[in-house]
Amino acid sequence: MTAAEGTTGPSSSILHLEEMVLNMGPQHPSTHGVLRLVLHLDGEMLISVDPVLGYLHRGFEKLAENRTYLQYLAMISRLDYLSGIFMEWSYVRSVEALMEIEVPKRAEYIRVIIGELNRIISHHVAIGDFMLNLGAVTPFFWVFRDREDVMDLLEMVTGQRMMYNFMRVGGVRWDLPEDFEAGCRKFLKEFPGRIDEYEQLITENEIFLSRTWGMGIIKPYEALDYGISGPNARASGVDWDLRREVGYSVYPEFDFDVPLGQHGDCFDRYKCRIEEMRQSVRIVEQALDSLCGGPVNLKLPPMLRPPAGDLYRAVESPRGEFGVYLVSKGGLRPWRLKLRDPTFSAISMIPKLTPGYKIADVVAIAGSLDLLMGGVDR
């Protein structure tokens, strides 16, 4: 069955002319990796879209079954390479819960600090790429200039710019270096002003508004129906943030808002990310203030052997609910590891969102959803 039969979008014209099939991707620059969209077009109007996945499939779930718990930690941040900390976080949380390990308090604060910094740079890329999709090149350089500052901070702590491999079962790898706090506070002081700069450049831009205002609207019930989470769902007004609802790690101690959108269009999704960056700054500031002394990890043997059992642990990654379902049979290796990626659900919404729009708007809608194929294809 072709996609054209499966979806019923609003028909673009009464005079239905010859249908054209156009491949967008897998190497198209606005598909954020290797997503292939098979577009069925009537002139420039879209009749239906069929996303084709799997170009980046690396078998992460199968590889987990052949590695020890610690070995797998080294690869999991390759999954969603822009927010690797959250992949590691959700994985170590599931192993810790299975082994009933209590993580030292200082380690939890460090996790939150690193995680929120990672959220900032992930949103940097989301906004920069989105603007690039719309044809605006300047914001891309502005966000990447600031992203470099955060990357320096993360490199100072973890030794890596992207694939951190920083979380450990029972804590984190190292303590923060001495000059980290001063550098981080300097950044946090400057950064809100830079967010204002982005807003001056983007938010009130006439072209940007006309390209995004009222485009690709996701209704709240649709967001739930399709399993959309994170900023994409919050832009539609779905008031759900795992950091607040589940309150994992030390998040309940911090005071932060969950930004919500009203219309669920491309503009709200952009705006939600901007606001989340401001909230991340608040969280990191509070975490630095309440950072306590003590050990940063538990000295655990390299061969972990969690007891038999199964559980699911999720974290609020920059793209939404990233979850790990772990089944152990008491051996050295996981019996089954399932990775729940938020972007997978977001892409499944594209065939519903895009029919009736023009090709350029498909690029805008896909960009606003902040797609990243590394996590989708696994």
Partner 1 sequence: MKLTAPEVLKYAGDLLGKLARDLTISDWHVVIEVAAEDLPEVALRLRDDKRLSCKYLSTIIGVDYEEWMETLYMLRSQDHSVPVRLRVKLDREQPEVPSVAYIWSGANWHEREAYDFFGIQFQGHPDLRHILTREDMDSFPLRKDARPHRKRRRSGQVTGMDEAVRLPGEPDRRERS
Specify the stretch interacting with partner 1 by CB under 8 A; choose among 157-165, 204-212, 237-245, 251-259. Answer: 237-245
Cα–Cα distance for residue pair 334/311, rounded to 1 Å: 12
d(CA 214, CA 222): 16
> Within 13 A of 91's CA, how many CA atoms are on the CB side?
33
Tokens of 75: 């690869």
Could you say which of 72, 187, 191, 226 contacts partner 1 (CB under 8 A)?
Answer: 226
Restricted to residues 142-161, the positions that interact with partner 1 (CB under 8 A) are: none
Contacting partner 1 within 289-328 (CB under 8 A): 310-312, 314, 321, 323, 325, 327
Look at phi and psi of residue 217 and say left if phi exceeds 0, alpha if psi is from -120 to 50, else beta.
beta
Using DSSP's 3-state secondary structure scheme, residue 153 falls into helix
**Binds partner 1 (CB under 8 A): choice among 57, 145, 161, 189:** 57
Which residue, among 45, 134, 130, has the nearest Cα to 357 in the 3D structure? Answer: 45
One of 76, 92, 107, 238 touching partner 1 (CB under 8 A)? 238
Q: Is residue 99 involved in binding partner 1 (CB under 8 A)?
A: no
> By CB under 8 A, is residue 239 in contact with partner 1?
yes
Choose between 7 and 203: whose C-beta lies nearer to partner 1: 7
What is the sign, positive or negative, of the torsion defined by CA atoms of 40, 41, 47, 51? positive
- For 287-313, b/e burial (b = at least 16 CB within 10 A) is bbeebeeeebbeebeeebebeeeeeeb
Which is nearest to 324 in space by CA: 67, 92, 100, 85? 92
Concatenate the DSSP letters of all residues of 234-288 into one string. HTTT----HHHHT--TTGGGS-------SS-SHHHHHHHHHHHHHHHHHHHHHHH
Contact call for residue 135 and partner 1 (CB under 8 A): no
> Residue 306 CB, nearest distance to partner 1 (Å)?
13
| Residue nearer to partner 1 on the CB measure, 70 or 97 | 97
Q: Are 17 and 42 in contact (CB under 8 A)?
A: yes
Is 219 near partner 1 (CB under 8 A)?
no
> Cβ distance 158 to 164 under 8 Å?
yes
- 89 near partner 1 (CB under 8 A): no
By CB under 8 A, residue 62 contacts partner 1: yes
Q: In the complex, what is the shortest distance from the CB of residue 233 to partner 1, in angstroms, rounded to a whole number?
A: 9
Which of 5, 206 has the CB closer to partner 1?
Answer: 5
Q: Is 352 in the site for partner 1 (CB under 8 A)?
A: yes
Binding residues for partner 1 (CB under 8 A): 1, 6, 53-54, 57, 59, 61-62, 97, 221-222, 224-229, 238-240, 245-246, 310-312, 314, 321, 323, 325, 327, 336, 338, 340, 344-345, 347-348, 352, 377-378
